[in-house]
Chains A and B, each alone.
Chain A
Amino acid sequence: MEEIIRGRVWKFGKNVDTDQIIPAEYLVTADEKELCKHAFEKVMPSFSKNVKKGDIIVAEENFGCGSSREHAVRALIGCGISCVIAKSFARIFFRNSINLGLPVIEADVEADTGDILEVNFKKGTIKNITKGKEFKFKPMPDFLMKLLSKGLIEYAKEKLKEKS
């Protein structure tokens, strides 16, 4: 995982549910690129056409609520999203993101769609380059950081080795 990422913002409000991120009618594949094509289709049809690799999602409270569908995180990864920043996350979305290596940050950040953000994971800072403002966030506990950088699959492989 990179220590510093820089990307363009897509701004969302509160209670963005996983039905909005990826509608259920497309839950017939696990393919990330295919899922990205339908990301936010019902609420922001321009998203999947205009999203670029490295873009950052900024949202308010309870991002990713609703269904446990991991496809929501996979769709965002397929779209090249580098990080999701929200005031708070629904817990299954939060877990899924960490397990699949998509950085999620709990922070209250002032940003609008199109702003450029720079996230420094080591320092725990988010700079809004466009607005010239800086915000802080609490780094994740070590265990989650380890999972995030490694991904749950590698973590599980190590555990399996220990077992045998």
Chain B
Amino acid sequence: MGTIAEEILAKKSGKKKVEPGEIVEAEVDYVMVNDITGLPAFKVFEKLNAEPIREKIVLIPDHYVPNKDIASAEQAKAMRMFARKYGIENYFEVGDNGICHQIMIEKGFVAPGRLIVGADSHTCTYGAFGAFATGIGSTEAAVVFALGKLWFKVPETMKIIVKGELKDYVMGKDIILHIIGDIGVEGALYKAMEFYGDTIEKLSLADRITIANMTVEAGAKAGIIPPDDKVFKYLENRVRGSYEPVYATEDAEYSDVLEYHADEIEPLVAKPYLPSNIAKAKELSDVEIDQAYLGSCTNGRIEDLRVAAKILKGRKVHKNVRLIVVPASKEVYMQALKEGLIEIFLEANAYVSGPTCGACLGGFMGVLASDEVCISSTNRNFIGRMGHKDSKVYLANPAVVAASAVTGRITDPRDLK
């Protein structure tokens, strides 16, 4: 009767079936805000004069923590105080946290069939686990704190099929960049993207998470992958409460069906100033870089660090480059320590920090000066995204970031000697 997106929205709004374009009021499982989007939400919530639905609220400071200045310290304090005032248990303090989307996954909030909203555009990340998850604003987050429900326009669904074997050093990042390069940054506007095909089935969860994470860069409302055993296994001993996987029915209708072949996808780079501005990494070998950034909700997981460490082992970062490595969470950081990856990064002269979103959005911990160029495993390369309006960001997978850090120019890892 419907796509995964439709089936979840129908279930959560108590209906048998919903149609694209219909506006429904649906029961939300969790609502998350970060330190930047939290502050306006807390102010709105106070105006509502309501009791919060505590168990649904998740508060994760990650953008400007550890506090970058006094103003951001006040903002982080507002979140801490809100959590204390209302007794919100799901507040994750600096030291026991990480980038909000990674924490939502690691701490078991994300599961198949759930409806999750977050005041952060990359909330769509959780679609990698078969959830319908989407970014919202701060005011509506405050309303969900009070009502536990929100209005949704049921999106049309695009079916994306990826088939075949991936080449060496081609990752989830390249798949999603390839698709965004094809359909454009508004190619999935207002729509849900659902991913199928043997390539997607074979991908690690980390690669699937990267794909779902960047569906918003095509304008999508959600990016969903049907959950399988890899998902169920990851969730064992991790997930909170029970969950029920939701799948598309056979008669589901899609607004578009797009098919891609994995063997046509190369290690890619999105040039400034849009994620759709795609080129092959090997075609950009004349672009010199000043900084290489490995981290973020897009590519800061242990699998990403392993790929980069394999390239960096026994090599040094180029003398004109700062390589900044930011594991996405404490859990990722500890695992990287255990596996000796952090030592490899430090030996290579990379700078390694604790988790934060900081540099990805030009906040702190790696802001770019005028005319500087950064190759980055993040998700956005807009004008001034990581700093000065005349700086440039090239988006790529962790292998391309690591290889480029070694040579000082954008490098396809297969060309590394």
Contact = CB atoms under 8 A, between A and B. Distances in A.
Interface of A: 15, 17, 19-20, 23-25, 27-30, 42-43, 61-62, 65-71, 73-74, 88, 90-92, 95-96, 99-100, 141, 143-144, 147, 152-153, 155-157, 159-160, 163
A99 B44 CA distance: 12
Q: Is the interface of A mostly helix, strand, loop or mixed?
A: helix
A92 B64 CA distance: 22
A95 B190 CA distance: 11
A42 B384 contact: yes
Contact of A153 (B48, B69, B363, B384): B48
Contacts of B383: 17, 19-20, 42-43
A38 B287 CA distance: 31
A23 B47 contact: no
B211 interface: no
Contacts of B219: 62, 65, 90-91
Contact of B362 (A24, A88, A100): A24
B40 A30 contact: yes
A67 B120 CA distance: 7
A102 to B, nearest CB: 12
Most buried by B among A25, A68, A69, A73: A68
B13 to A, nearest CB: 14
Contacts of A92: 121, 135-137
Contacts of A160: 48-50, 146-147
A42 B362 CA distance: 13
Contacts of A28: 36, 64, 69, 71-72, 74-75
B43 interface: yes
Closest 7 CB pairs of A and B: A28-B71, A96-B137, A42-B389, A24-B361, A62-B186, A70-B137, A30-B40
Contact of B44 (A73, A88, A153): A153
Interface residues of B, number: 49
Contact of A156 (B39, B40, B146): B146
Contacts of A100: 137, 139
Contact of B139 (A70, A90, A141): A70
B3 interface: no
Nearest to B64: A28
Contacts of B151: 143, 147
B146 A69 contact: no
B382 interface: yes
Interface string B48-79: 11100000000000011000010110110000
Contacts of A90: 186, 189, 219
B43 A30 contact: yes
Contacts of A143: 23, 151
B284 interface: no
Contacts of B136: 68, 92, 95
B186 A15 contact: yes
9 contacts: A15-B185, A19-B362, A19-B384, A19-B385, A25-B363, A30-B138, A68-B120, A70-B40, A90-B189
Interface in B82-127: 119-121, 123
Contacts of B186: 15, 61-62, 65, 88, 90
A62 B43 CA distance: 29
Given A20-B383, A23-B384, A152 B143 contact: yes
